[in-house]
């Protein structure tokens, strides 16, 4: 199974479409940290399994490029070749929704669709392994190579279990132990509760309560018999009482009827006496009516005389009102004409009148006629005022035009002066621009910037070379110190082989010479770096000076443009003002200027005429009020004369007649009342007869009832004795019932106590059973924990031989048979066997040999996991496995990787180390580059040709 094709679009840093067609062999993936080297291969995990189980790095909101929007679609296409058949897995993310499809061979229709369905098919059918196992198979990181030699045994064992996926057993044990602890805690809690309960005491209390309940129930049943006897005796007394009660009720009924008959007789006698008295009063009323009737017949005469006097009074009041109103009207007419006269004198003033006929009105003697003549003259003021205003407006307009002409000529002179100054300023700016700008400023600035960037890159390269040389020198000096600290017969600190002859001094000399050489190279590189930095600073100073010149040129150009625009505006204004002045002169040709005296005289005449015009309505109104008031006064005086004719009103006689009429009306009402009472005499006489008959009947009924009472012979003492007997029987029965109810209540309370004790005993027994069940469950889980531990040990025991076999095969191949096999102890500590069957721990070997062994062990792990899938995995990714290695160890591991090509068809090496990037063992190199906006692109470099090919923007076969 090899990787045929990988396509990315809008996946994290890879914003633009990117297509990768990896060849077989070793492919180097280089670039700065954070540029997205590992992201390329993490996209395979997202395409296969989506976000499920991937953690925060694979969450949907972390997948698209951070600088984009939710509307941008993310696409990842992965094509695997499995047994000659291509399987393309495509996963997309758009607006938070994930879709996935699988294509088999050259088919255009998807074999399967759906995000979760594709993930399950990839796991169950294509890879035959889950996400964790697949990641551990093809992705090897630096820490996974170092842990064979650099961590403790327990950590190493757990890391291998994680990679192989058997750490799930430990996860299951954690869950099982948590359940066991929960059961144990529950059992302990129940036991602590049960420990505070006395089971025997509860049982004894329950027995005693049940006996007490039975006793109380028995006593209550005994009282039931006594209650029955008392009720029988009470029933007999009540039967006798019912007979006596009937006689008692009949006795009471007869006495009530007798009392009613006596009351009816007495009421009939009272009505009879009352009716006789009413008949006597009616006879007296009849005599009174005969005396009062002659006096009431004088009422019409008195009423007629009163009506005549009231009419005379009304005429008298109206005549007095008309006389007073006529006097007020004449006063109003005089006031109106006086006010009009005052107004005319105010209008006349000291000057001559502006209207014809105005002076003649003051020669009229009669005030009313003078006001009438003045109103006729003032009626002409409106037309005269309009003519005066027209004349005044023409004078003001002519004066305004002369003033506008003077202002226009002054503005024309100022505009001409400004236009000449603007032309001079624009010419000076143009001359300054020719002195500063020769047309090559932008080209010079761009050239200096390119040169400065080139110097920065060269300086950074020299600085990196110096740092690398110093690190190599420090490592060599450290090795020299280690060797120097031993004597000349000491062993090599790496392989523990002894030095021969003068090999000790020779090795020291070589190490020191090489270290000095590296130090010298580092110093030369740093000196070159300082020179480049100084040259870059000089360029920056020159660039700043030229930038200042360019800024000055830009400012001058803006000033020139502004000066030209101002000159054009002033020229336009000059033309516009000159035309306006010519038009004004043409309009004033032949006209003389207006003097202040003429303007003041015209304004004074117009103002006086306005005053006359405004006074006309008031004078006209006052004249109308005067004439109207005089006419109304004459009419009122004529009406008062008419009302003075006829009967003269006498107030004293009028009052005497009103008193007499009131007395006659009172007597008339008294007569009518007495006549109404006399009309009821027949009815009173009839009621008197009925009352007499009713009295006799009531007397007879009372006698008959008295005879019945005597015949009944009711014994009241026997009746009262029976009632006392019934009351005593009821009291005795209620006392027995009360005693029985008390016994039943006591029995109920005892029953509640019995139920409470039974419930407490039941809860105790249930708690006992639950505690026993939890303890038994905890014991079973403890046994399962032991079985899981044995199962885990069995798994690791099975893994170790297979891992030793795979790792030994790889180490023999990578070392050309120098080392035969690898063995692992219980914690996966490494022992290496050479061809002489001597075994050594990994810590005794040189760094390069230890790296080969660690690489063999990690690759063996990948092969073991891959063997569980559908087909052996044909590619592996080594992520930053060279970061902590020196140059020699990196070369050794690269040589080993070259031999690994026989095991894996494709090896992807992610690194930022220069030795790896420049290694001739790579078949192809991918350079990952990041721009200023955080977007990454990939340049594919054919190592044999050294010619880069930019993939971004040249995508073929987009899905």
Q: Write the pLDDT tens digit of every residue in 922-958.
A: 888 899 998 888 899 998 887 655 444 444 433 434 4
Give the whole-angstrom CA distance, residue 454 versus residue 668.
Answer: 144
Q: Of 153-162, 553-562, 666-675, which gets the smallest average pLDDT?
A: 153-162
Give the whole-angstrom CA distance, residue 811 versus residue 896.
Answer: 9
Name the one residue in this structure whose structure tokens are 């044995």: 790
Which residues have CB under 8 Å from 640's CB, separation 6+? 319, 322, 323, 326
The predicted pLDDT at position 951 comes to 44
Q: 424-579, what's its fold?
A: Helix Hairpins (1.10.287)
Q: What is the pLDDT of residues 620-641, one digit of tens each?
A: 888 788 778 888 888 877 777 7
Would you give the distance in Å from CA 517 to the centre of its chain?
Answer: 69
Q: Which residue has the higher pLDDT, 874 or 838?
A: 874
User: What residues pair up with 924 in beta bridges, in sequence order?
Assistant: 27, 942
DSSP states of 13-49: TB-S-EEE-PPSEEEEEEE-TTSSHHHHHHHHHHHHH
Q: What's the order of all strands across the beta sheet hosting 97-104? A: 18-20, 2-9, 74-82, 85-94, 97-104, 112-113
Q: End-to-end CA distance of the chain, in Å?
A: 22
Q: Is the pLDDT of residue 426 over 70?
A: yes
pLDDT bin (cut points 50, 70, 90) of residue 476 is confident
Q: Would you tell me how many other CB atoms lie within 10 Å of the CB of residue 910? A: 25
Q: Are 895 and 882 in contact (CB under 8 A)?
A: no
Q: Which residue has the higher pLDDT, 112 or 792?
A: 112
Q: Which residue has the higher pLDDT, 528 or 468?
A: 528
The predicted pLDDT at position 232 comes to 83
The predicted pLDDT at position 950 comes to 46
| Bridging pattern class, strands 25-31 and 924-930 | parallel
Q: Is the pLDDT of residue 497 over 60?
A: no
Q: What is the pLDDT of residues 21-78, one digit of tens each?
A: 998 888 889 888 888 888 998 999 999 999 887 788 888 888 898 777 767 899 999 9
Q: What's the whole-number mean pLDDT along residues 489-512?
A: 59
Q: 2-165+815-950, what's its fold?
A: Rossmann fold (3.40.50)
**Class of residue 83 by CB neighbours under 10 A (exposed 0-12, middle 13-18, buried 19+):** exposed
- The C-alpha torsion from 264 through 266 and 269 to 274, rounded to 10°, is -100
The predicted pLDDT at position 110 comes to 92
Q: Is the pLDDT of residue 214 over 60?
A: yes
**Class of residue 70 by CB neighbours under 10 A (exposed 0-12, middle 13-18, buried 19+):** exposed
Structure tokens that stand for 362 in this block: 């003051």
Give the whole-angstrom CA distance, residue 876 versus residue 906.
Answer: 7
Would you give the distance in Å from CA 677 to the centre of its chain?
Answer: 94
Q: Of 348-352, 389-393, 592-596, 805-809, which gets the smallest average pLDDT?
A: 348-352
**Of 42-51, 142-151, 658-667, where does the model show the most confidence?**
42-51
The predicted pLDDT at position 573 comes to 81
Q: What is the pLDDT of residues 224-237, one digit of tens each?
A: 888 888 788 878 87
SS3 595: coil
Q: Which residue has the higher pLDDT, 592 or 331?
A: 331
User: What residues pair up with 906 in beta bridges, in sequence order?
Assistant: 25, 875
Name the one residue in this structure whose structure tokens are 């889980």: 781
Give the whole-angstrom CA distance, residue 122 versus residue 102.
Answer: 9
Q: What's the whole-number mean pLDDT along residues 403-432?
A: 79
Name the one residue in this structure whose structure tokens are 């005892």: 750
The predicted pLDDT at position 781 comes to 86
Give the whole-angstrom CA distance, residue 811 versus residue 789.
Answer: 32
Q: What's the whole-number mean pLDDT along residues 143-152?
A: 55
Would you give the distance in Å from CA 76 to the centre of its chain?
Answer: 36
Q: Would you tell me how many other CB atoms lie within 10 Å of the CB of residue 550? A: 16
The predicted pLDDT at position 77 comes to 96
The predicted pLDDT at position 429 comes to 76
- Looking from the CA of 920 toward its CB, the CA atoms found within 13 Å total 0
Give the whole-angstrom CA distance, residue 803 versus residue 871.
Answer: 19
Q: Is the pLDDT of residue 762 over 80?
A: yes
Q: What's the whole-number mean pLDDT along residues 278-294?
A: 77
Nearest Cα to 223, choosing from 719, 814, 733, 584?
733
The predicted pLDDT at position 154 comes to 60
CA angle 901, 902, 906 (to 5 degrees): 40
Name the one residue in this structure whose structure tokens are 């740092």: 467
Give the whole-angstrom CA distance, residue 217 versus residue 745.
Answer: 10
The predicted pLDDT at position 11 comes to 93
User: In 3-state terms, the chain is what percent helix, strand and coil (to 5)?
Assistant: 70, 10, 20
Residues in the chain: 959
Q: Is the pLDDT of residue 486 over 70?
A: no
User: What residues pair up with 92 in beta bridges, in sequence order?
Assistant: 75, 99
Element (H, E) at 68: none
| Domain boundaries defined on the chain | 2-165+815-950, 200-281+697-756, 424-579
pTM of the model: 0.40
The predicted pLDDT at position 165 comes to 67
Determine phi and psi for 129, rounding to 5 degrees.
-160, 155
Nearest Cα to 129, choosing from 862, 628, 673?
862
Give the whole-angstrom CA distance, residue 833 versus residue 853.
Answer: 11
**List of long-range contacts for 344-349, beta carbons under 8 Å, 24+ apart:** 344/370, 344/371, 344/374, 344/619, 347/611, 347/612, 347/615
Portion of the chain with pLDDT greater than 70, in percent: 86
Q: What's the order of all strands across the beta sheet hosting 906-911? A: 139-141, 875-879, 906-911, 25-31, 924-930, 936-942, 947-950
Q: Is the pLDDT of residue 190 over 60?
A: yes
Q: Are 37 and 928 in contact (CB under 8 A)?
A: yes
Give the whole-angstrom CA distance, residue 233 versus residue 231.
Answer: 6
The predicted pLDDT at position 750 comes to 85
Q: Is the pLDDT of residue 959 over 80?
A: no
Which residues have CB under 8 Å from 75's CB, separation 6+? 7, 8, 9, 10, 11, 90, 91, 92, 959
Q: Is the pLDDT of residue 145 over 60?
A: no
The predicted pLDDT at position 948 comes to 47
User: What residues pair up with 79 in beta bridges, in sequence order?
Assistant: 5, 88
**Of 113-122, 272-281, 721-730, where does the model show the most confidence?**
113-122
Element (H, E) at 703: helix 681-712
**Of 116-130, 276-290, 858-872, where does the model show the most confidence?**
116-130
SS3 101: strand
Q: What's the whole-number mean pLDDT along residues 906-911?
A: 86
The predicted pLDDT at position 257 comes to 82
Q: Are 354 and 387 in contact (CB under 8 A)?
A: no
Name the one residue in this structure whose structure tokens are 């494709």: 906
- The C-alpha torsion from 663 through 665 and 670 to 674, rounded to 10°, is 150
811-840 burial: b if 16+ Cβ within 10 Å, else e: bbebbeeebbbbebeeebbbebbeeeeeeb
Q: Is the pLDDT of residue 5 over 90?
A: yes
Q: What's the whole-number mean pLDDT along residues 133-144?
A: 67
Q: Is the pLDDT of residue 113 over 90?
A: yes
The predicted pLDDT at position 640 comes to 75
Give the whole-angstrom CA distance, residue 620 versus residue 378.
Answer: 9
Which residues have CB under 8 Å from 938's CB, separation 6+? 14, 18, 20, 40, 926, 927, 928, 929, 951, 952
Q: Which residue has the higher pLDDT, 920 or 491?
A: 920
Nearest Cα to 549, choosing from 537, 538, 557?
557
Q: Which residue has the higher pLDDT, 116 or 572?
A: 116
pLDDT mean across residues, the chain: 78
pLDDT bin (cut points 50, 70, 90) of residue 835 is low
DSSP type of residue 122: I
Q: Is the pLDDT of residue 326 over 70?
A: yes
Q: Is the pLDDT of residue 538 over 70?
A: yes
Name the one residue in this structure whose structure tokens are 């004449």: 330
The predicted pLDDT at position 958 comes to 45
- Looking from the CA of 591 toward its CB, the CA atoms found within 13 Å total 17
Structure tokens that stand for 448 in this block: 């200096």
Q: Are 20 and 956 in contact (CB under 8 A)?
A: no
Give the whole-angstrom CA distance, residue 114 versus residue 102.
Answer: 9
């Amino acid at each position: 199974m090899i990787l045929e094709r990988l396509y990315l679009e809008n996946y994290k840093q890879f914003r633009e479409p990117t297509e990768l067609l990896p060849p077989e062999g070793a492919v180097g993936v280089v670039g700065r940290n954070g540029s997205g080297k590992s992201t390329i291969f993490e996209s395979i995990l997202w395409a296969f399994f989506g976000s499920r189980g991937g953690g925060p790095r694979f969450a949907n909101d972390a997948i698209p490029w951070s600088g984009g929007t939710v509307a941008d679609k993310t696409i990842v296409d992965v094509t695997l070749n499995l047994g000659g058949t291509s399987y393309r897995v495509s996963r997309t993310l758009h607006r938070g929704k994930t879709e996935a499809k699988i294509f088999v061979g050259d088919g255009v229709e998807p074999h399967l669709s759906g995000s979760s369905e594709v993930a399950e098919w990839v796991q169950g059918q294509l890879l035959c392994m889950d996400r964790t196992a697949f990641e551990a198979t093809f992705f090897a990181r630096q820490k996974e190579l170092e842990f064979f030699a650099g961590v403790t045994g327990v950590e190493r064992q757990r890391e291998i279990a994680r990679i192989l996926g058997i750490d799930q057993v430990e996860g299951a044990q954690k869950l099982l132990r948590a359940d066991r602890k929960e059961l144990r805690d529950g059992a302990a809690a129940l036991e602590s509760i049960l420990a505070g309960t006395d089971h025997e005491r509860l049982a004894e209390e329950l027995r005693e309560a049940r006996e007490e309940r039975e006793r109380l129930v028995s006593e209550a049943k005994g009282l039931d018999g006594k209650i029955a006897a008392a009720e029988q005796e009470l029933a007999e007394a009540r039967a006798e009482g019912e007979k006596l009660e009937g006689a008692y009720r009949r006795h009471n009924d007869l006495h009530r009827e007798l009392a009613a008959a006596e009351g009816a007789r007495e009421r009939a006698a009272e009505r009879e006496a009352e009716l006789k008295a009413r008949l006597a009063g009616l006879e007296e009323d009849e005599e009174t009516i005969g005396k009062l009737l002659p006096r009431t017949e004088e009422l019409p005469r008195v009423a007629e005389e009163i009506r005549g006097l009231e009419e005379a009074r009304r005429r008298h009041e109206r005549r007095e009102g008309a006389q007073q109103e006529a006097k007020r009207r004449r006063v109003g007419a005089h006031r109106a004409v006086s006010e009009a006269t005052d107004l005319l004198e105010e209008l006349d003033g000291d000057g001559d009148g502006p209207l014809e006929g105005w002076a003649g009105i003051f020669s009229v003697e009669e005030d009313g006629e003078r006001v009438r003549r003045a109103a006729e003259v003032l009626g002409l003021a409106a037309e005269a005022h309009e003519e005066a205003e027209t004349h005044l407006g023409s004078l003001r307009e002519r004066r305004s035009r002369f003033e506008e002409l003077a202002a226009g000529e002054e503005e024309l002179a100022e505009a001409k002066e400004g236009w000449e100054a603007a032309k001079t300023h624009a010419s000076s700016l143009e001359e300054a621009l020719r002195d500063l700008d020769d047309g090559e400023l932008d080209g010079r600035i761009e050239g200096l910037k390119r040169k400065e960037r080139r110097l920065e890159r060269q300086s950074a390269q020299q600085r990196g070379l110096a740092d690398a040389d110093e690190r190599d020198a420090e490592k060599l000096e450290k090795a020299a110190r280690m060797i120097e600290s031993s004597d000349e017969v000491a062993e090599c600190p790496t392989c523990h082989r002894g030095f021969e002859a003068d090999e000790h001094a020779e090795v020291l000399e070589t190490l020191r010479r090489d270290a000095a050489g590296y130090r010298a190279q580092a110093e030369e590189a740093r000196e070159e770096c300082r020179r480049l930095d100084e040259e870059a600073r000089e360029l920056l100073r020159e660039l700043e000076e030229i930038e200042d010149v360019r800024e000055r040129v830009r400012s001058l150009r803006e000033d020139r443009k502004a000066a030209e625009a101002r000159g054009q505006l002033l020229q336009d204004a000059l033309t516009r003002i000159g035309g306006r002045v010519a038009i004004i002169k043409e309009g004033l040709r032949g006209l003389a200027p207006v003097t202040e005296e003429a303007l003041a005289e015209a304004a004074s005449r117009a103002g006086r005429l306005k005053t006359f015009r405004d006074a006309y309505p008031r004078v006209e109104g006052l004249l109308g009020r005067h004439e109207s008031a005089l006419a109304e006064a004459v009419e009122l005086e004529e009406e008062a004369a008419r009302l003075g004719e006829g009967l003269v009103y006498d107030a004293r006689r009028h009052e005497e007649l009103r008193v007499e009429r009131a007395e006659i009306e009172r007597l008339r009402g008294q007569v009518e009342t007495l006549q109404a009472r006399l009309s009821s005499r027949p009815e009173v006489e009839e009621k008197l007869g009925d009352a007499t008959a009713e009295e006799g009947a009531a007397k007879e009924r009372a006698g008959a009832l008295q005879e019945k009472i005597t015949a009944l012979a009711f014994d009241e003492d026997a009746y009262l004795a029976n009632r006392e007997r019934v009351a005593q029987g009821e009291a005795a029965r209620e006392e027995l019932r009360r005693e029985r109810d008390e016994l039943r209540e006591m029995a109920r309370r005892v029953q509640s106590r019995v139920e409470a004790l039974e419930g407490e005993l039941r809860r105790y027994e249930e708690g006992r059973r639950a505690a026993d069940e939890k303890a038994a469950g905890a014991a079973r889980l403890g046994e399962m924990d032991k079985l899981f531990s044995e199962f885990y040990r069995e798994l690791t025991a099975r893994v170790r031989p297979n891992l030793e076999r795979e790792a030994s095969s790889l180490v023999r191949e990578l070392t050309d048979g120098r080392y035969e096999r690898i063995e692992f102890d219980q914690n996966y500590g490494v022992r290496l066997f050479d061809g002489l069957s001597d075994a050594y721990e990994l810590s005794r070997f040189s760094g390069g040999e230890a790296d080969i062994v660690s690489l063999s062990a990690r690759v063996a792990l990948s092969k073991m996991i891959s063997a569980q899938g559908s087909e052996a995995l044909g590619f592996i990714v080594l992520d930053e496995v060279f970061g902590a290695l020196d140059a020699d160890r990196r070369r050794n591991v690269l040589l080993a990787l070259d031999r690994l090509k026989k095991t894996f068809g494709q090896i992807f090496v992610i690194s930022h180390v220069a030795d790896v990037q420049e290694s001739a063992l790579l078949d192809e190199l991918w350079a990952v580059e990041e721009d200023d906006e955080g977007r990454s692109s990939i340049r594919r470099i054919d190592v044999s040709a050294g010619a880069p090919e930019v993939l971004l923007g040249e995508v073929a076969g987009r899905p």
